[in-house]
Structure 1
């Protein structure tokens, strides 16, 4: 089985990056379960909660821009260490403070995910490092395992938060505010573990002069075939310091990914937690168990996504999984029974993560290695900025009983439109990317 072969051949740095994403997403899964409820408990209005999420994501956009655009000059490992220390600091502030302004500043300067998903500079730098360390024929499997560890970590964090809050509040009679604060203390503790992983990474994660020379050879042999025939050679640099190949595709990728992220920002998982809590009166343990199950199925579904990416090509694989996922999410709007809503959300999660690996393959196949960190940083910054707009609308919807459910429809509509644009611009690239993956190379 190629998945097992890729796992067995992975080197120490790849495995440390797998451990890193597990720890980080475990922390994000923890805080996702309590963030909105904690802010409401300390007296923050729903509209201000939406503003909090937007400001946090804007801060993440700015921090991510600085750290990812200059990551090669600073050093990828240094960037990941800096981000981890920021993550630790934000957890400690949330555990000890109730002031709205200070919490916003901590979330902006530190790393608190308002959506339970990736935030900050980690994802861009880690994915660029993994692509740098992995040949094309192993990338679908290596990225699938990376996704598996990430969603497994989120699942572990979700169920841990639910049971920690219920145990402390019911068995030990702690106040809910104290329970939520302890969740953020655990979050800070997880960041210490992540810091150990980052400090253990080797120099192989960094781009060297030899890597750039090798990249030039690859461009001549392969990458130019991914461009339209009228486009000049990919090794030439444009006005932004990026190759002409990258500048050709980057605007199209930004439109697609930003539209998708705008839809996601309208109804992220933190608001799903809030919606289920308010509409269906679900307990903290019940919500924790639900999100453990959805994140667990997310983790499992990342493995067959590598198979679909190789069988269909990355673009077809995205369309094959993302469109049904959007329809399932939209259907939650029209149910009044918790078990039906939970089943639909579970089915949505079973397919939504299966587009992650194909997206990673598409990006890393049409972008040069020495530009991956910058490009992934720009893409993730664009996604974060687009996502930041949504909570402003969601916060307003939450102030009107019965209106919040329409966020599901708005989310799904944006995703389906993004899929249409993706198919129009990139569907023809599948055959060329599959040809790249057919060349067998070993992981160094």
Structure 2
């Protein structure tokens, strides 16, 4: 792996770490500030909508403006959400900051930086190591989610050490998130010119996606990812944390431990996914590991005891992200190299757009009487995605599978 690949993965870890701590805390914090559950959903929806817009812009302008510059700009915008949460309780300002900051409510979230990172990664290793590098990218991100989740317990430590109350201690975490965005922007600028798109691609950009040779494949996959992400958006980590907080009275430090453990399981599972893909193929790995996770999600609100719900969530965590490195590798393999930024951007836009609608729908359903409904609908949507993906793409093989060479 080249120096750029190592730096890119390290930066991914830093920004995911800081984002994950905020993800666990934000819904609980907004509740403490007196906002309604529906208002929390609106905040999360606007943040995910901003992430979708950022992903779209990175696909349209990223290669033309320069990938390093675009990444740095998006990183600075990322800090807007943290700065607003740390300094104001004005709901209008918070929602505007969530939008422009592209704040997604899922740890390790989809954002505008993802498409550019994913289009760069395959160029940092030989083609034979493509799936492996995406697994490393995923594992580092998931490990960062784990330790970021632990950092959600920082307000409790700050209260004991400095003597701040819970609100001010939580705001200090949000301020740290804003500061980290500046560090991330600087690190992106340290990438070499080798990460930029070829000169011909920069000149043409992919401005009209309807003219791309692989447009049918790109838009079909993107539509399926939107269905899956809508299911995810109904039960994002922020609202799952809120569910455990209100249903079983788990405190932020306990929730941090829960998401830490689940992320460690997820990181381990990504290595398993790479090896499984060598045996049964990328599409089969994506589908047949994802369905059990969705069934387990649907069972979480049906159990009466906290330990049962925690056990189901942890078990689900082992399976739920095994499709991430495999789907990233697959989508980069089934389009031409000069279409990779377009594919990664379309994938991220569809995921962010699908996720954006979920929190508001979920909180409205939740407020209407039952926290169970979002889990059931979310799991059902995700299983629908799995079955459709398998039926439509089981015969669309990446090059190494057509040649009999697994990577």
Structure 1-normalised TM-score?
Answer: 0.86
- Determine the structure 2 residue equivalent to 1:268: 236
1:242 offset after TM fit, Å? 4.1
| TM-superposition CA deviations, 1:335-355 (whole Å, max 9, x none) | 011111111100111111111
Where 2:139 maps in the other structure, the secondary structure is helix
- Determine the structure 2 residue equivalent to 1:158: 149
Confirm or deny that 1:385 pairs with 2:353: yes
1:431 offset after TM fit, Å? 7.0
- Determine the structure 1 residue equivalent to 2:7: 16
| Correspondence list, 1:168-183, <5 A | 168-170=158-160, 172-183=162-173
Specify which of 238, 251, 264 is matched with residue 296 of structure 1: 264
- Determine the structure 2 residue equivalent to 1:438: 405
1:113 offset after TM fit, Å? 2.5
Where 1:33 maps in the other structure, the secondary structure is helix
- Determine the structure 2 residue equivalent to 1:46: 37
CA distance in 2, matches of 1:144, 1:72: 24
Confirm or deny that 1:87 pairs with 2:78: yes
Asked if 2 retains the 8 angstrom alpha-carbon contact of 1:90 and 1:110, the reply is: yes
Q: Segments of 4+ in structure 1 off by > 6 A?
A: none
Where 1:174 maps in the other structure, the secondary structure is coil
CA distance in 2, matches of 1:424, 1:381: 23
CA distance in 1, matches of 2:342, 2:60: 5
CA distance in 2, matches of 1:149, 1:238: 32
CA distance in 1, matches of 2:208, 2:398: 30
Asked if 2 retains the 8 angstrom alpha-carbon contact of 1:313 and 1:431, the reply is: no
Change (3 A) 1:392 1:90: closer
Asked if 2 retains the 8 angstrom alpha-carbon contact of 1:137 and 1:437, the reply is: no
Change (3 A) 1:265 1:239: closer
Change (3 A) 1:178 1:314: same
| TM-superposition CA deviations, 1:109-157 (whole Å, max 9, x none) | 1243322232321111100100233333101111100001101111111
Specify which of 55, 62, 75 is matched with residue 71 of structure 1: 62
- Determine the structure 2 residue equivalent to 1:3: none
Equivalences, count = 404
- Determine the structure 2 residue equivalent to 1:372: 340
**Aligned residues: CA RMSD:** 2.1
Confirm or deny that 1:407 pairs with 2:374: yes
1:87 offset after TM fit, Å? 1.6
- Return 5+ residue gaps in structure 2 as ranges: none
- Determine the structure 1 residue equivalent to 2:193: 203
1:183 offset after TM fit, Å? 1.0
Confirm or deny that 1:184 pairs with 2:152: no
Bigger radius of gyration, 1 or 2? 1
- Determine the structure 2 residue equivalent to 1:278: 246
Where 1:319 maps in the other structure, the secondary structure is helix
Specify which of 395, 399, 402 is matched with residue 428 of structure 1: 395
1:429 offset after TM fit, Å? 2.2
Asked if 2 retains the 8 angstrom alpha-carbon contact of 1:315 and 1:427, the reply is: yes
Asked if 2 retains the 8 angstrom alpha-carbon contact of 1:136 and 1:436, the reply is: no
Asked if 2 retains the 8 angstrom alpha-carbon contact of 1:259 and 1:415, the reply is: yes
Specify which of 287, 292, 302 is matched with residue 255 of structure 2: 287
